[in-house]
Structure 1
């Protein structure tokens, strides 16, 4: 028996069915489509550029503002110059007499002057501060007698810096989750409303469609976070804040890891929730519970960033651990094993949520009209 050359070589004959793409190829195809469509969007590019400029401007601007303040120039007479020689935040200029020091204050050459009192009584202040309208706080503090302080449990990080770091991590995660999660939800409903999803499901399975959307959005969100991290790191280096960059580095690396897994969890919830409705007008209603799951932990961490007990609990809750645990790492409150345990809990929760989200997505995707009840979507 002889075969034609085309048949023997395995070429497809007219009428043969096209082979269905594998699950991996389908997921890669959908993810690539999501990434390409977003990257080509002018709104995405403009918003990313504005966000990067905001981060760089915030770091550089705060450094320039703090540098412009400088030390307070103070004229000192006699023993006052020796007393204030090593006081922080003060630039001391010696003066020959009280009259000369007062003249410097009136001319605006110094902000204040410190002169000794000739007839000071025992136990009374031995110096007098001369200023035009008000005395500089740094000078008054340097002349004040402060008690010795002994801290039983000193914090390794300044509370003000801790609040800024908690706020920064929180706002980055919150903004990325709401922005990209909302995009995923809107995409799902648009495909249902225009019936494009019916065409897509003839080529790829529903789980591949969901996985592609989640992975594509996660890649975009993580890429944007990496750009922010690089921009912030370069800004800190250029402004000479290497110490803060070194302290922030480990926490930032852990934040990227937690963010990657945490966003997959949230993106699956946004997509599954959006599949319950068929109109864009109803998107806000169905994704509101997911939005609250992002907002509540964010506000708790911001308001209780100095409460170690609350911060410890929030660092293990899956919906808040992407922010809570990196903040604890920066504050040096976490043991070496705690981030690993929190990351495992987050990953396990993400697996469960993605499985439930896939069931809801698959059971609701082709149902148009009235909103699908949650119980029906889970039951199928």
Structure 2
């Protein structure tokens, strides 16, 4: 068989084994439910509260309409205004008056503080650097991209590592490489898990779209479309980079309990984007630097695209850097994997695995 056919054969084996695993299916379902709940909660919490009904005459209607979160009910005179206020149809009424403020507020039993504050005289404010997006929405988007990257990369990375060590422990790998070249076996493992990881990303994107539509966040949906596509592209190559390194690191040990010692540095590289992007999501300089580092670019660059801080050429340059890093990781991971796979017993040192 050709190497391409053998690669697909190994990939199909990886995919079918995961789809038969109840633990994998349950964890995937929980992840999707958490994502949907997060989008819905974020959407409902970011919505404006129900507008307050306020009565106003033709003379004061324009003043009241300029206030935020207010619905104006026009009345003819003071008598009608008192009637709707006493009946509870409106929270208050704003009428013209002969005093410095020019208006008087009629309330039923207590003064509506938000209305009083809104009508108070205040100096004109000029914003020199207006925020391009709502800080809460920006924070939620950063968390969303970070959590998806962290969960998918760590979950599938650990799965690949466990699969490699299990095959070494049971000596199945000796039978496999007698029929399949070592690098083809590695390529199949990476391909199969990449397909599963991308399927999860597509499902999460679909759930996010549904959640945004349900919560009426059409503006966010329109603005997040391109960043989500870029995230999928960056995630694809970022995951291949990590999967190659996870496979190589796992091949250096022969027992499941030793996996943590070799994959811990990779786990830190997976967690770094989540932590740094969340902490520095509102720091343009740090976010710019993170968007060019291969391990954090899949999260940082889409966030910058969403808030409009990245130029059109920046994601292209960042993607080129990621692709070069991906090729380097594949070569290093394949060499370690090939030189360590048949070495049983104690942990293989990194220098020995690279030297062969």
SS in 2 for 1:73: strand
Matching residue of 2:338: 362
How do residues 19-34 of structure 1 correspond to structure 2 at under 5 angstroms? 21-34=1-14
Matching residue of 1:334: 310
Scaled by the length of structure 1, what TM-score is found? 0.83
Matching residue of 2:53: 73
Matching residue of 1:13: none
SS in 1 for 2:65: coil
SS in 2 for 1:87: coil
For residue 176 of structure 1, the aligned residue among 146, 152, 160 is: 152
Aligned residue-pair number: 353
Alignment deviations for residues 116-155 of structure 1 (CA, whole Å, 9 cap, x no partner): 69796x5x79645757678454x34422334333333333
5+ residue gaps, structure 2:
none
Q: Say if 2:92 is the partner of 1:113.
A: yes
SS in 2 for 1:287: helix
Separation in structure 1 between the aligned mates of residue 112 and residue 162 of structure 2, nearest angstrom? 58
Separation in structure 2 between the aligned mates of residue 360 and residue 191 of structure 1, nearest angstrom? 16
Separation in structure 2 between the aligned mates of residue 157 and residue 66 of structure 1, nearest angstrom? 12
For residue 37 of structure 1, the aligned residue among 7, 17, 20 is: 17
Q: Deviation of residue 270 (structure 1)?
A: 1.3
Q: Deviation of residue 40 (structure 1)?
A: 2.2
Q: Say if 2:63 is the partner of 1:87.
A: no
1:297 and 1:129, CA in 2 relative to 1: closer, same or farther beyond 3 A? Answer: farther
Q: Say if 2:286 is the partner of 1:295.
A: no
Scaled by the length of structure 2, what TM-score is found? 0.88
1:153 and 1:250, CA in 2 relative to 1: closer, same or farther beyond 3 A? Answer: same
Matching residue of 2:233: 257
Separation in structure 2 between the aligned mates of residue 186 and residue 225 of structure 1, nearest angstrom? 22
Which range moves more in the overlay, 143-152 or 195-204?
A: 143-152
Q: Deviation of residue 209 (structure 1)?
A: 1.3
Q: Say if 2:32 is the partner of 1:52.
A: yes
1:280 and 1:136, CA in 2 relative to 1: closer, same or farther beyond 3 A? Answer: farther
1:83 and 1:151, CA in 2 relative to 1: closer, same or farther beyond 3 A? Answer: closer
1:163 and 1:67, CA in 2 relative to 1: closer, same or farther beyond 3 A? Answer: closer
Matching residue of 2:280: 304
Q: Deviation of residue 49 (structure 1)?
A: 2.6
SS in 1 for 2:178: coil
Which range moves more in the overlay, 42-51 or 124-133?
A: 124-133
Q: Deviation of residue 162 (structure 1)?
A: 1.6
Q: Deviation of residue 327 (structure 1)?
A: 1.0
Instruction: Name the structure with the higher helix share.
Output: 2
8 Å CA contact 1:80, 1:114 repeated in 2? no
Which is higher, the Rg of structure 1 or of structure 2? 1
How do residues 308-319 of structure 1 correspond to structure 2 at under 5 angstroms? 308-319=284-295
SS in 1 for 2:328: helix
How do residues 264-275 of structure 1 correspond to structure 2 at under 5 angstroms? 264-275=240-251
Q: Say if 2:134 is the partner of 1:194.
A: no
Alignment deviations for residues 353-374 of structure 1 (CA, whole Å, 9 cap, x no partner): 1111111111111122211111
Separation in structure 2 between the aligned mates of residue 292 and residue 264 of structure 1, nearest angstrom? 17
8 Å CA contact 1:55, 1:232 repeated in 2? yes
Separation in structure 2 between the aligned mates of residue 31 and residue 214 of structure 1, nearest angstrom? 8
How do residues 5-24 of structure 1 correspond to structure 2 at under 5 angstroms? 21-24=1-4
